[in-house]
Amino acid sequence: MNRKATKTIMKKDIVQFITEKYTSMTNSEKTIADYIINNFEHVLSISVQALASELNISVATIVRFAQHMGFEGYKEFRLHLAQLGNEHEDFVLDFHKNENSPEAQISKMLISCAECLNLTRQNMEYDTLSDIVQVMHNAEKTAFFGVGTSYIVCQDAAIKFKRIGIDTECACESTSAAIILSNMKKGDVVFGISHSGNNETVEKIMKMAQKMGIITIAVTTFSNSNICKTADYTLLTQTRESPLHKIAITSRVSQFAMMDSLFMAYLTIHYDRCISNINKTYEISEGLKT
């Protein structure tokens, strides 16, 4: 149970609405979700029977999918989709489509990244950031854990916070994580960073940290994901990148934006201490050049 509840995201579009429950869907439900995301206008114009035929699945499976999304049946679900509208197009890496030029793909990517940053600003939980700043300030050590692209975000965060005087570590695999955790104690802070929130390595690290009395913070897009279940605090990243993508782009932008926001919150609240550490690092760096 989170010590500080995250607020409900109010600004949603088609992709966010469908994918917020993606990690808890069955394979058949994910097939339906993927198809709706990529064929939104078409789905609005066909019957549930036609959709079932195109996907080669049963009508009952589609109805269960609609019920999983919180509706009585598919008719109500489709009506809700129509009301949401298709204001924003999902960012999909359609490199196999010959009609898409590099210019079009780059423009689409940059627009999606800009939307991602705007969503982050609109949905930022400043009270939660302030609470996390306080527990980091009270801790002796802070560690960041993530796998794949998320580990790059961990490395960046560890370096940034180290520069302002926080003792930080980061790791992307179990052995290094075990070494780091063995040198931490109750009241220290662990971040688990995962777009899906269901990375097995990160999940196990979070559970172990929790058993040790370490304060755990989940950074993920999905509030119902596994790492949120063992988190004292949750920072929800905002991205219009559906989980079907194999290359993380806007999800990575959102993770960087969230960690940079936390960094700025810490820098603002503890300005004098942070600036003193930054200046000390600069002075030593200059001294090493002579």
pLDDT in tens, 257-290: 999 999 999 999 999 999 999 999 999 988 998 7
Is residue 214 within 8 A of residue 204, CB to CB? The reply is no
Topology (CATH level 3) of domain 121-289 = Rossmann fold (3.40.50)
Q: What is the pLDDT of residue 101?
A: 75
pLDDT band at 42 (very low <50, low <70, confident <90, very high): confident
pLDDT at residue number 271: 95
Do domains 10-90 and 121-289 share one topology? The answer is no
Cα dihedral 70, 74, 75, 76 in deg (nearest 10): 0
The answer on pLDDT for 89 being more than 70 is: no
CA distance 102 to 100: 7
Q: What is the pLDDT of residue 241?
A: 64
Domain 10-90 in CATH 3.20.10.10? The answer is no
**Pair 44, 78: CB distance under 8 Å:** yes
Alpha-carbon span 43 to 48, nearest angstrom: 9
3-state SS class at 52: helix
Q: How many CB atoms lie within 10 A of CB 227?
A: 28
Q: Which residues pair with 234 in a beta bridge?
A: 218
Mean of all residue pLDDT scores within the chain: 85
pLDDT at residue 216 greater than cutoff 80: yes
Task: Count how many residues are written for the chain.
Answer: 290
Q: Mark out the alpha helices in the chain (DSSP H runs).
A: 14-19, 27-38, 40-44, 48-55, 59-68, 74-84, 102-122, 126-138, 149-163, 174-182, 200-211, 226-229, 250-269, 271-289
CA gap 20, 34 in Å, rounded:
13
Mean pLDDT, to the nearest integer, of 164-170? Answer: 96
Would you say residue 185 has pLDDT above 50? yes
Phi, psi of 124 (to 5 degrees): -65, 135
Q: What is the pTM of this model?
A: 0.74
Bigger pLDDT: 149 vs 105: 149
* Distance from C-alpha of 128 to C-alpha of 134, rounded to nearest angstrom: 10
Supply the pLDDT for residue 280: 93
Contact yes or no for 260/235 (Cβ under 8 A):
no
pLDDT of residue 103: 83
Domain boundaries of the chain, sorted by first residue = 10-90, 121-289
Q: Which of 25-39, 77-91, 150-164, 196-210 is predicted least confidently?
A: 77-91
In the predicted structure, residue 95 carries a pLDDT above the cut 60: no
* pLDDT tens for each residue of 123-144: 899 999 999 999 999 999 999 9
Quickly tell me which residue has 């916070």 as its tokens: 161
- According to the model, what pLDDT value does residue 116 have? 84
* String of DSSP letters for 221-275: S-TTSHHHHT-SEEEE------TT-SS-SHHHHHHHHHHHHHHHHHHHHTHHHHH
> Model confidence at 183, in pLDDT bands (50, 70, 90)?
very high
